[in-house]
């Protein structure tokens, strides 16, 4: 076999290796559409309260039009959402507080003379997946800190942390969204009775 043949083989091999490296290093995205369904089902509230827009205190990666929630281990796959995280948590709070019996007024921040108000910080939010071949394991964690304000003063601070680990054959973003919803529901179940007592 002549030198031209070997030169061709080497050239093809180099191109194939380069292509594999590029594909391996390319970032793949798995998108989760965040949802919430009421879970705490606590009663006992009444009257009007101000609900401030939640603040996300967790540092999350950002790209144009989406937020990086986590990743799939040992892959180039990032778990992202195009949803507004503060609005997602706000929607959950509105659902739970409204069912509890409150009339809710949403505000960007609580006024200094707020009569009764709730302000929530998201202190933890993580998503992690691991692919074992047959099943995909999804681990999520959410931490919340709720400030209860009365007559313009901080009355009480409540905290709740919830986590879940689910195994599924579903490799789409739907499994991530379902796990995050379940984790947020667990946090709300823990938080809501204390909020109602404090108000």
Q: What is the mean pLDDT of the chain?
A: 88
pLDDT-derived band at 10 (thresholds 50, 70, 90) equals very low
Length of the chain: 199
Name which of 100, 95, 106, 190 is nearest 146 in CA terms. 190
| Region for residue 74 given its phi and psi (left: phi exceeds 0; alpha: psi -120 to 50; beta: otherwise) | left
- Average pLDDT on 20-45 reads 79
Q: What is the CATH number of domain 27-198?
A: 3.40.50.10610
Is the pLDDT reported for residue 24 higher than 80? no
- pLDDT grade for 131, boundaries at 50, 70 and 90: confident
Express each pLDDT in 135-158 by its tens digit.
889 999 999 999 999 999 999 999
Question: How confident is the model over 152-166, as a mean pLDDT?
Answer: 96
List Cβ neighbours of 144 (8 Å cut-off, separation of 6 or more).
89, 120, 121, 122, 123, 159, 160, 161, 187, 191
pLDDT by residue (tens digit) across 180-195? 999 999 999 999 999 9
Residue 186: per-residue pLDDT: 98
66, exposed or middle or buried, with CB in 10 Å at 0-12, 13-18, 19+?
A: middle
pLDDT given at position 168: 86
Instruction: Give pTM, 2 decimals.
Output: 0.84
Domain ranges of the chain: 27-198
């Amino acid at each position: 076999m002549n030198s031209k043949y070997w030169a061709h083989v080497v050239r093809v091999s180099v191109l194939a290796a380069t292509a594999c490296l590029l594909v391996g290093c390319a970032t793949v995205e798995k998108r989760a559409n965040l949802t919430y369904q009421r879970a705490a089902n606590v009663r006992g509230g009444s009257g009007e309260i101000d609900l401030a827009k939640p603040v996300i205190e967790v540092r999350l990666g950002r790209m144009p039009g989406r937020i990086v929630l986590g990743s799939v281990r040992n892959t180039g796959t990032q778990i992202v959402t195009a949803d507004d995280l503060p609005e997602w948590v706000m929607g959950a709070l509105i659902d739970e507080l409204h069912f509890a019996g409150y009339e809710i007024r949403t505000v960007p921040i609580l006024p200094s003379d707020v009569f009764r108000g709730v302000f929530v910080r998201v202190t933890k939010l993580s998503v992690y997946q691991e692919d074992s071949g047959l099943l995909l394991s999804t681990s999520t964690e959410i931490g919340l800190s709720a400030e209860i304000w009365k007559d313009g003063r901080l009355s009480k601070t409540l905290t709740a942390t919830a986590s879940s680990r689910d195994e599924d054959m579903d490799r789409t973003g739907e499994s991530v969204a379902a796990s995050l919803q379940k984790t947020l529901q667990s946090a709300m179940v823990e938080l809501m009775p204390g909020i109602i007592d404090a108000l």
